[in-house]
Amino acid sequence: MSERETWATRAGFILAAVGSAVGLGNIWQFPFKTAQFGGASFLILYLIAALGIGLPAILAEFVIGRKTNLNTISAFEKLGYKEWRVVGALGLFTGFWILSYYSVVGGWVLRYIGGSLTGAYFAAPAEYFGQVSAGVEALGLHAVFMVLVVGIVAAGIEDGIEKATKLMVPSIIVILGILAVFAFTLPGASEGYAYFLSPDFNALAENFGDIVPFAVGQAFFSLSLGMGAMITYASYIDGDQSLFGDGITIVFLNSFVGILAGLVVLPLLFAQGIDPNTSGAGAVFISVAGAFGDIPGGQIIGLVFFAVVLIAALSSAISLLEVVVSWAIDNYDVSRPQMAVGLGSFIFLLGVPSALDSAWLGWFDTLAYKLLLPLSVLGILVFAAWVYGAPAVDELLKGSGLGEGVGLTWLWIARTLVIVAVVATLALGLETLFV
């Protein structure tokens, strides 16, 4: 069998991981939830969750990946815990599942790039969204999005994913930065900032029981945890580097892009007097899209905005296809392009119901968010911190120049705080799953 691929550079790995983390979650979920849940007060809470819970969890995935240089299922076997492959399999399945409908949303984004150019959604944004978000056209664009994903993954780690994300991640940051400056010049921008970031400790205190699990769940989803993505990407690391350093960089950049997205979309909405009191798909595809119709140069601004959303979605989606492709080529005598096409087609088929009927999309998302993701994160953490334990600390510290104390701190935070947080998120999710 040919030699397993690796990243060409450390920066390549970091940018690919940031590309995975920065996605639709940052742009359509984070800004609106932050505003709704108490602005700057929520932001502080989220950053605590991202650093205190998300960071230890991403490090657990990095350790498993780098130690074994194997896909998310075989990794557990190589570490000597064959039965724990089931946890890897759950992560792989979760990634598969999420990608099926994420790609449908990617198709909507493609539609909106075209719609910006022609101004198709300007007059009646809500009706337009209703027409294009489900049906044969949505199915066709879901296929186009999957073709793009397959194309990048088929080209390989260094020539496909690394080259693509090296271009995509800086573009996301630079273009969002430019859009934020443009949004700043709009009348009403300051109200947008106030709505986004004014601290509201009452809002936080009153809904603390909902907000904390949301912050934790968002930290996991946002960092692409529990989908096998970070185990897989770390498995292509060649040699020693500080996983701590990489993890902190990734957590920081992921949060930064969420904040930057808020500095774009909320001033845009307030400039047009649009009520931002909505979130999810409606917020980006209806409210934000609606604002472009009334802004000078709205066609171009809309085009650029949806192009950034597309890049963010693509650089996330490739990480999920890679999880499955990696497993297939590690274990079977098949070529990467063949597998990318085959598995990509399969994921496309799984997404057909979501493309034809938004109710299915909602159901797929709910099941992933409330059950599959937290369960998978829990399995990985229990494994890394309790079952694997001491060798995980050694692997974490390797090449980091950090002392044993840092490693043990990670171990005990992962063993206690992080696991309690995941169990609580899982319990709350299950409680509401069937209602």
Q: Please report how close the Cβ of residue 321 comes to ligand PFF at its closest, in angstroms.
A: 8
Torsion angles phi and psi, residue 8, rounded to 5: -75, -35
Contact flag: residue 317 with ligand PFF (CB under 6 A) = yes
Q: Contacts with ligand PFF in 193-222 (CB under 6 A)? A: 221-222
Least Å distance, CB 356 to ligand PFF, is 20
Neighbours of 81 (CB within 10 A): 14
Q: Of residues 17, 87, 92, 99, which one binds ligand PFF by CB under 6 A?
A: 99
Angle at alpha carbon of residue 119, lines to 113 and 124, rounded to 5°: 105
To Na ion, the closest distance from the beta carbon of 258 in angstroms equals 7
**How many whole angstroms separate alpha carbon 52 and alpha carbon 61?**
15
Query: Which one of Na ion, ligand PFF, none interacts with residue 99, CB within 5 to 8 A by kind?
Result: ligand PFF
Q: Output the residue with the shortest Cβ distance to ligand PFF.
A: 23
Selected range binding Na ion among 15-23, 124-132, 162-170, 387-395, rule: CB under 5 A: 15-23
Tokens found for residue 138: 């949505």
**How far is it, in rounded angstroms, from Cα 418 to Cα 1?**
39
Interacting partner of 34 out of ligand PFF, Na ion, none (Cβ under 5 to 8 A depending on kind): none
**φ, ψ for residue 205, nearest 5 deg:** -65, -40
CB of 316 to Na ion, least distance (A): 7
CA distances from 199 to 33, 38, 43, 213, 400 (A): 13, 6, 9, 19, 37
Quick one: tokens of 233?
């990407």
**Distance of closest approach, residue 319 Cβ to ligand PFF, in angstroms:** 6
How near is the Cβ of 26 to Na ion at its closest, in Å?
Answer: 4
Q: Does the footprint of Na ion cover residue 25 (CB under 5 A)?
A: yes
Burial class (CB in 10 A: 0-12, 13-18, 19+), 307: middle
Is 222 a binding residue for Na ion by CB under 5 A? The answer is: yes
Rg over CA atoms, the chain? 21
Q: Three-state SS for 155?
A: coil
222 vs 272, which CB is nearer to ligand PFF?
A: 222
Residue 107 in the binding site for ligand PFF (CB under 6 A): no
CB of 131 to ligand PFF, least distance (A): 25
SS3 351: coil
Per rule CB under 6 A, is residue 348 in the interface with ligand PFF?
A: no
Binding status of residue 369 toward ligand PFF by CB under 6 A:
no
Residues in binding contact with Na ion, number by CB under 5 A: 5
In the complex, what is the shortest distance from the CB of residue 422 to ligand PFF, in angstroms, rounded to a whole number?
17
CB count in 10 Å sphere of residue 350: 16
| 116 versus 232: smaller Cβ distance to ligand PFF | 232
Q: Which does 319 bind (CB under 5 to 8 A by kind): ligand PFF, Na ion, none?
A: ligand PFF
Q: Of 44-63, which residues contact Na ion (CB under 5 A)?
A: none
CB atoms within 10 A of CB 190: 12
CA 140 to centroid of chain Cα atoms: 24
**Cβ partners under 8 Å of residue 7, min gap 6:** 13, 16, 157, 158, 162, 236, 237, 238
211 versus 253: smaller Cβ distance to ligand PFF: 253
Q: Which of 26, 41, 103, 376: binder of Na ion (CB under 5 A)?
A: 26
Distance CA 293, CA 363 (A): 32
Binding mask 247-286 for Na ion (x = CB under 5 A): -------x--------------------------------
Contacts of 423 (CB under 8 A, 6+ apart): 378
- Considering the rule CB under 6 A, would residue 316 count as an interface residue with ligand PFF? yes
Q: Which of residues 17-56 bind ligand PFF (CB under 6 A)?
A: 20-21, 23-26
Nearest by Cα to 365 from 348, 344, 379, 351: 351
- The answer to whether 246 and 169 are in contact (CB under 8 A) is no
* Smaller CB separation from ligand PFF, 309 or 392: 309
Residues near ligand PFF, by CB under 6 A: 20-21, 23-26, 98-99, 102, 221-222, 224, 316-317, 319-320
